[in-house]
Amino acid sequence: MVDTNFQKIKELIQKSSVPLAEQETLLLLFTKANDQDLEPTLKLFSEDSSWIYKINENFKAKQAALATGNQALWQKIVQEEETQLKELER
């Protein structure tokens, strides 16, 4: 059986520093994507596993901003995302 990109991402998350209780929630981010769309994420996580933790922290921050309706916090999170993405492009 060939492992899907989702399965490979799941294995990387399970080996990461993300707390076990948060791993399943983080995996939910990737369940709706088709396997081909997961290739860039798999590549990123494989090349630098610290991104697993960064993505998880970002996701948790977004959940908190949504739960509280804090627009300023949401904007700050998005700005930080943009900065990180620009660093990746270099």
> Which residue from 62, 67, 71, 70 is spatially nearest to 54, judged by alpha carbons?
62
Query: What pTM was computed for the model?
Result: 0.86
- Cα distances (Å, whole numbers) of residue 28 to 9, 24, 73, 78: 11, 6, 23, 20
- Asked whether the beta carbons of 13 and 52 are under 8 A apart, the reply is yes
Range of the domain at 64: 5-89
**pLDDT (tens digit per residue) in 30-83:** 999 999 999 999 999 999 999 999 999 999 999 999 999 999 999 999 999 999
How many structural domains is the chain composed of?
Answer: 1
